[in-house]
Amino acid sequence: MVVLKNLLKQTRTDLESKTLAPEIRQSIEEDFEKMEGYLGNRFERNHHRGVLIYSCSQKGLWLPLAFPVPLRSKLVVLPHPYTLPLTALLDQYPKYAVVLVSQERARIFEVYLGEITEHSEIYDEIPGKVHDPSSKEYKSMEEYGLAERRIERRGRRSDSPVGGGNSESGVYGLAERKIERHVGSHVRHHFKRIADITSTYFRDHHFDWLIVGGQEENRSGFEETLHHDLKERIIGRIKSDPKLSLPEVYEETLRLIQEVEWSQKDQLLKQIAEANQPYGLGVFGVGPTLHALGQGAVQTLVVQEGVDLAGARCPSCGHLNAGDPACPECGVPTDPVADLVEETIEQAISQSAQIAYVPRHPLLEQSGGMGALLRYQPEKIPTSPREPPNDRIESLRHAKSPFKLD
């Protein structure tokens, strides 16, 4: 609550110099009072680590949204909804589907925003008894979805070393082949049904990536039945069995997700470094990145987590810069911007650019915490003494990945 009180005090001070209609001021003050009352008395934190509140008393809008991930503390008064936190969350946290399979059972989970949710459980029992006109020796003993088969040896033992007729070995071989075919057909049908349910789940809920778990032979059998589009979304495999507890599944899944995401971010930075050449499609540094963003050339904006920068915006052309008193694009005096990183992210999102938040990395630490992969080459990329020289980028380009698990 201390953070909120400070934000309210600062925002009220800032609004005193604004020209606002009396009814607008009253609506804003009512919003502030509702937010303070809600967070102080009615908000149940539980496992939530962040909350986003949209409020407009004049329009009857009140929408609190709680999240299991932390958000940057900020209070914004605008004539339109401030959607940057939501869009940043969507970019920063992809949605994963996890499918654990065995020969009789499957479970489907969703991992999103740091939480895991189980959506469905599929169970197809393998028939425990195979009826053979010449033999009724097979029974099943089931334990948690796994069928064990036991042989009742009712055949007459033959004195011949070669099994045949009604000998034990002959009956065993015939029945064994029949039950293998029977079980094999059932398992294939089971995997096909799981694949169909996974496709339906993707259609209804959509997810970005797919993780498959189980024994290797079961994973392979299931993946063979998946639609091609879903196969392309598989980013990794785990050995988790469907009978594991939810915390166990989450722990193993989270470990894989962290490894994959860190590998992807490391590869992205190395790709930018390779393209950070004259007439290339990669830039590092605040100045070159903002210049490319001002021309709509940024395809993927890379920002180091925790970086805090101030800057400026041109009131004429809207270009952001690292704090120059005059716009380097048009020469007009600039207005200060307290949070340059947030303004940069918001502008990148408005241009449909992707956002990648990266932990500490040498390439970004030497570049002011910012870089970009470009759609096309901007007209001109300015240099700044604060940007790293090309030989420094070259030395880091082929460096071993700094990402590692704790």
- Over residues 275-331, the pLDDT tens digits come to 999 889 999 999 999 999 999 999 999 998 878 888 999 988 889 998 888 988 888
Distance, in Å, from the CA atom of 251 to the CA atom of 242, rounded to the nearest integer, reads 14
Whether residue 91 has pLDDT greater than 60: yes
Single out the residue of 96, 104, 24, 88 nearest to residue 58, CA to CA: 24
**174: amino acid identity, one letter:** L
The alpha-helical segments, DSSP class H, found in 106-245 are: 168-205, 216-225, 228-231
Whether residue 3 has pLDDT greater than 70: yes
Distance, in Å, from the CA atom of 116 to the CA atom of 27, rounded to the nearest integer, reads 39
Confidence of residue 133 (pLDDT cuts 50, 70, 90): very low
| CATH 1.20.58.1880, domain 266-397, yes or no | no
pLDDT value of residue 26:
93
pLDDT value of residue 384:
44
Distance, in Å, from the CA atom of 52 to the CA atom of 295, rounded to the nearest integer, reads 32
**42 token code pair:** 């009615």
| H or E stretch at 260 | helix 246-275
Whether residue 123 has pLDDT greater than 90: no
Question: What is the average pLDDT across 193-215?
Answer: 93
pLDDT in tens, 340-354: 988 898 889 888 898
Confidence of residue 73 (pLDDT cuts 50, 70, 90): confident
For residue 19, the tally of other CB atoms under 10 A from its CB is 5
pLDDT value of residue 149:
34
Whether residue 268 has pLDDT greater than 90: yes
DSSP 43: -
Distance of CA 90 to the CA centre of its chain: 8
Whether residue 374 has pLDDT greater than 50: yes
Confidence of residue 158 (pLDDT cuts 50, 70, 90): very low
Whether residue 364 has pLDDT greater than 60: yes
With left for phi above 0 and alpha for psi between -120 and 50, is residue 204 left, alpha or beta?
Answer: alpha
Taking each helix axis from N to C end, the angle separating 84-92 and 340-350, rounded to the nearest 10 degrees, works out to: 80
Pairing of strands 105-112, 115-123: antiparallel
Question: Do 99 and 211 meet the contact criterion of CB atoms below 8 Å apart?
Answer: yes
The whole model's pTM is what? 0.68
The neighbouring-strand residues paired with 302 are 356, 371
**106 token code pair:** 């499957």
**334: amino acid identity, one letter:** T
Confidence of residue 154 (pLDDT cuts 50, 70, 90): very low
Question: Do 220 and 130 meet the contact criterion of CB atoms below 8 Å apart?
Answer: no
87 Cβ neighbours under 8 A, 6+ residues apart: 349
Residue 143: exposure state from Cβ atoms within 10 A (0-12, 13-18, ≥19): exposed
Maximal C-alpha separation, the chain: 108
Residue 46: exposure state from Cβ atoms within 10 A (0-12, 13-18, ≥19): exposed
97 Cβ neighbours under 8 A, 6+ residues apart: 108, 109, 110, 111, 198, 201, 202, 205, 207, 209, 210, 211
Kindly report the CA angle at 156 between 155 and 161, in degrees rounded to 5? 105
Whether residue 139 has pLDDT greater than 50: no
| Domain spans, the chain | 2-82, 96-244, 266-397
Q: φ, ψ for residue 65 (rounded to 5)?
A: -125, 120
Distance, in Å, from the CA atom of 340 to the CA atom of 323, rounded to the nearest integer, reads 9
Which fold would CATH assign to domain 96-244?
Nucleotidyltransferase; domain 5 (3.30.420)
**206 token code pair:** 């959509």
Question: Do 361 and 269 meet the contact criterion of CB atoms below 8 Å apart?
Answer: yes
Percent of the chain at pLDDT > 70 equals 78
For residue 163, the tally of other CB atoms under 10 A from its CB is 16
For residue 350, the tally of other CB atoms under 10 A from its CB is 11
